Structure 1
Amino acid sequence: MINIYTLSSTFYIFCMTTAIILFIASSLLYYFLMPQQEFRHLGRKCLEGSNLVVLLAIATILHEVFEDGASGILYIEAMDVWRYGIILISLISTLYMMYDRHAGGQYLLMASFLLLPELDTWLPWSLLLALSCIALRLIRVFPVAYRQYREQLTARSIQSAVDFLEEGVLLSLEKGEPVLVNYVMYDVMEKLLGTVIRNANIFWHILANWNNTERLTMERQGRDFLFRRNDGVAWLMQRRYIRFRNRSGWQISALDVTNLDRVNRELDQKNQLLEKRNEKMKYLLNHLVDMQTQRTTEEMRYKIHDLMGQRITILQQLLNNKNMTNYAAILPLVENVLADMRRETVDNPAERLNVLVRTYGSLGIEVTVTGNLPANQEMAARLVGIIREALTNAILHGKASRVSIELPPTGKRILTIRDNGIGCHGTIQSGNGLQGIERRVRKMGATLHLTGTPHFVLSVEREDDYDSRTHH
């Protein structure tokens, strides 16, 4: 056949540019379809391949027509067997995928039939129409394929997503064959071992048997390993047993815990310091009353010493005085000395309670006492011991600044202690202080009641009514 039409340069450039753009778009379509399930079908692969071949054939015919026209030669179509071959391939692919109307095979089949040599009399409009058919197919198929590519979970998308994780991930079969490894895990392997270990079991075995060096140390934390470099960088290595696709395997993860490790070490140091201070504070609180009593005793001893020295000096002067003939006047002075000694050395529960109130008052802790201790000195001493432990706990653990002590004269309740501290919003744990209180309460045949919220309340009750004023 003979085509007497000669292509202009402008029309040729327009058609070739369109063909190139469609070829690039078709290549992208091929790329987006590759990871999808439907592209595993041989017919779909042939269909997309035929689309690219048809575009190449259109570009080839356009070039021949333009070159022949530019040379002043009429384009004479001979036996173009390859054109019939392209049409046959497109026909077979389209018929093979005819069940899938979304593939747009009908547009490709129409474009391929426009390449028939018998239609060369329509050149270049037949080629332009063929390009239009392919363009219509791309407009219909490309958005769907791209959306499925973005939404469908594929091996490529999984790998891309895992590579964006900040933690290292290595998934392997049970024998250690790797299934999925991200870039962060490769980087961790390089930094820890100086090389990449492909087998997960070998990698974990090396980590588990690591010998500490100046550059890198390992600390076991249960099933996990904490690696620290000398520059402060820290990784937490974890391995967990997993199952996927009816198979078993391992998941090894590497977490950069540099900041967390630094904070934890600082907290550990501060906790140790705080624990030491708490122990010291508890010791001081537990012994503060003893120290106050000891100081009072020392003052009393010096006072007695001074008093005795004064009285003895007077007695010596009286006895050595030759003019002293009335020795009966010496006896009242001796009795005064003994009375002073007795007053200064008595240590009863009521006085001990007063010492507690004064001692904590000197610390800025307001302690108020309502009522009086029982007349029974043994019970009074035990109640003072309970009050002492309760005050220590209220200040040390409850951070209280005010404590009220109620000593009802009658009734089943014989003691109630309240503070304005932070209370205890969880389960009340019995430490040494509470255990000591419980022992004293049991010895009295009473029951201890504790309330942790909103503030701490401690009460001691007897089963029978009790009159503290009459029991001795």
Structure 2
Amino acid sequence: MYTLCGNQSIQRIVLTLYLLSIILEIIYLTMNNMYKRKIRDFIIVSLLLFISISQILDISKIFQNQNISFNNEVISEQLMPKSTLFSCVILSLIYFVCIFYIINSLKSYKNEIKSSSIKEAFDNLPSAISIINANHMPLLVNKRMYHLIYMITEEYSPNVLEIVNIVENRMKHKNIKYIENRNDFIIQLKNGEIYKFNKSFLEIEAQLYTQIFFSDITREYNLSVELEEKNNALESQKKQLTILLDDIVNIKKEEEILMQKMYIHAKLGEIIVATNLYIRERKNQKYCLDLWEDLLIRLSAPVESKNEDTNLSQLVDASNAMGCEINLNGNLPEDNDMSYLIITAMRVAITNAVKHAKATQINVDIQDDDNNKLISISDNSTMITDSIQEGGGLRDLRTKIEKAGGRFEILCNQKVTLKISLPIKSIYS
């Protein structure tokens, strides 16, 4: 048993404790960045560890100089005298205090906000910022501000007030382009970066400070320019589609006139021959009257039979292209000519609503009332209209509806609503 407490075992114990102390000290130094600060803590911890090692070495010498007899009944008293036991207790207390101090110091240091951390946070900001005291001395200048100063003055310096003076007075400078804006100072550098300038004042503990801020708005500004260009392009397309819709209406009118001329030309010869025959021989009176009646009807009504699905789908496509949605409540009548009048009214209403009222939606309501079709056409325009003057489109629409035996009314109760009534038993049936 003596070999367990001999010189070699004691030396191993001492070496282990010493190495443990060194490891704890290295961890403490590393985590607390001791090469920059906390020198006082380092000295205290080093002294405590030195005292601990010294006590351990003293105990080892005591053990080396003692002659221990295991036949003695007071082995424990010879092995560890009271003074030595007291020294070990004191050593343990000192050692645990040392460890507690290290752990507590690490915790407090971890939660401490250091000036280097604040500077690092400012340097990582995407915008240029600087704080200047009442004596016009810059107290803080982040990396982006240094970059901005260099891009403008071509010098590495903390002279923030120089570029502030240039921007505030809109002084001409080869490295700056001013972007027109009523409320803000916005500049563009030669490399394409765009900054918005702002200056504010801070009062801290009765001391006045000036905060200079250049926000990097390069991406936001480029997106706004791109959006404006697209909006202008859409507005131009909308105007072109409005003109195109007007042209379509005019072309349809020309087609109607052409069809009437072709029909009259085709039937006029037959009618003249039949009329001359009737005048000379008084024959085929009914046949002659039927020809004239048919001609008069053709002259007072559309000549072509409309395909409602095709015309309505074309109108919906053209209206959607102009940015105007058609809300149709009800069904078009089966009568092609009546459907043609309703679709024509919708086309005129869409053209006027988009062109004059900037509407984005047309509401069409079709209902049956006894022997009449009641049609109401309105839009979602926010423009207030108390009166309206009938132009070519509305005037021609009124003529067609009244020739078909219907009624046409324009209501102007802050917004325009077309009211149309068409007899189901019209002159076309």
State the TM-score, normalized to the length of structure 1.
Answer: 0.49
- CA distance in 1 between partners of 2:272 and 2:334 (Å): 45
Q: CA deviation at 1:252?
A: 0.5
Given candidates 190, 200, 203, the residue that maps to 1:241 is 200
- CA distance in 2 between partners of 1:285 and 1:345 (Å): 26
1:234 and 1:261 in contact (8 A); partners too: no
Distance 1:216 1:238, change over 3 A: closer
Cα deviation, 1:314-340, whole Å, max 9, x if unaligned, reads 79xx9xxxxxx95999x9999999877
Q: CA deviation at 1:191?
A: 3.7
Distance 1:189 1:303, change over 3 A: farther
Distance 1:19 1:332, change over 3 A: closer
Q: Does 1:165 align with 2:125?
A: yes
Q: Does 1:139 align with 2:99?
A: yes
- CA distance in 1 between partners of 2:25 and 2:180 (Å): 58
Distance 1:23 1:167, change over 3 A: same
Please list, as runs of the form range in 1=range in 2, the aligned pairs for 1:408-419 lying within 5 A after superposition. Answer: 415-417=375-377
Q: Which has the higher contact order (CA 8 A, sep 6+)?
A: 1
Give the structure 1 partner of residue 214 of structure 2: 253
Give the structure 2 partner of residue 186 of structure 1: 146
Q: Does 1:51 align with 2:44?
A: yes
Q: CA deviation at 1:245?
A: 1.8
Give the structure 2 partner of residue 78 of structure 1: none
- CA distance in 2 between partners of 1:358 and 1:238 (Å): 59
**Root mean square deviation, CA, Å:** 6.2
Q: CA deviation at 1:207?
A: 3.6
1:175 and 1:201 in contact (8 A); partners too: no
- CA distance in 1 between partners of 2:334 and 2:412 (Å): 20
- CA distance in 1 between partners of 2:386 and 2:246 (Å): 12
Give the structure 2 partner of residue 429 of structure 1: 382
Give the structure 1 partner of residue 312 of structure 2: 361
Q: CA deviation at 1:28?
A: 6.3
Q: CA deviation at 1:239?
A: 1.0
Give the structure 1 partner of residue 161 of structure 2: 201
Secondary structure in 2 aligned to 1:363? helix
Given candidates 233, 239, 249, the residue that maps to 1:289 is 249
- CA distance in 2 between partners of 1:134 and 1:187 (Å): 53
Please list, as runs of the form range in 1=range in 2, the aligned pairs for 1:269-308 lying within 5 A after superposition. Answer: 269-301=229-261, 304=264
Distance 1:278 1:285, change over 3 A: same
Distance 1:357 1:312, change over 3 A: closer
Q: What is the identity, as a one-letter code, of the residue corresponding to 2:314?
A: L
- CA distance in 1 between partners of 2:385 and 2:412 (Å): 13
- CA distance in 2 between partners of 1:153 and 1:408 (Å): 81
2:131 and 2:209 in contact (8 A); partners too: no
Distance 1:393 1:171, change over 3 A: farther
Q: What is the identity, as a one-letter code, of the residue corresponding to 2:196?
A: M
Distance 1:270 1:144, change over 3 A: same
Q: CA deviation at 1:291?
A: 2.8
- CA distance in 2 between partners of 1:467 and 1:293 (Å): 21
Cα deviation, 1:115-171, whole Å, max 9, x if unaligned, reads xxxxxxx9xx999x87x7775445323444433334344433322222233333333
- CA distance in 2 between partners of 1:242 and 1:356 (Å): 73
Identity of aligned residues (%): 14
Cα deviation, 1:18-68, whole Å, max 9, x if unaligned, reads 776676667668768x99xxxxxxxxx996486278479879x99xx9xxx
Q: CA deviation at 1:174?
A: 6.6
Q: What is the identity, as a one-letter code, of the residue corresponding to 1:243?
A: L
Please list, as runs of the form range in 1=range in 2, the aligned pairs for 1:60-459 lying within 5 A after superposition. Answer: 136-173=96-133, 177-208=137-168, 209=170, 211=172, 217-221=177-181, 222-227=183-188, 229=190, 233-245=192-204, 247-255=208-216, 257-258=218-219, 260-301=220-261, 304=264, 310=269, 326=280, 343-346=297-300, 360-361=311-312, 363=314, 365=316, 368-369=331-332, 388-390=348-350, 398=360, 404-406=365-367, 415-417=375-377, 429-430=382-383, 435=385, 446=411, 448=413
Q: CA deviation at 1:296?
A: 1.9
Secondary structure in 1 aligned to 2:140? strand
Distance 1:384 1:200, change over 3 A: same
2:198 and 2:212 in contact (8 A); partners too: yes
Unaligned runs of 5+ in 2: 1-9, 59-82, 317-325, 336-340, 395-407, 425-429
Q: What is the identity, as a one-letter code, of the residue corresponding to 1:273?
A: A
Distance 1:19 1:333, change over 3 A: closer
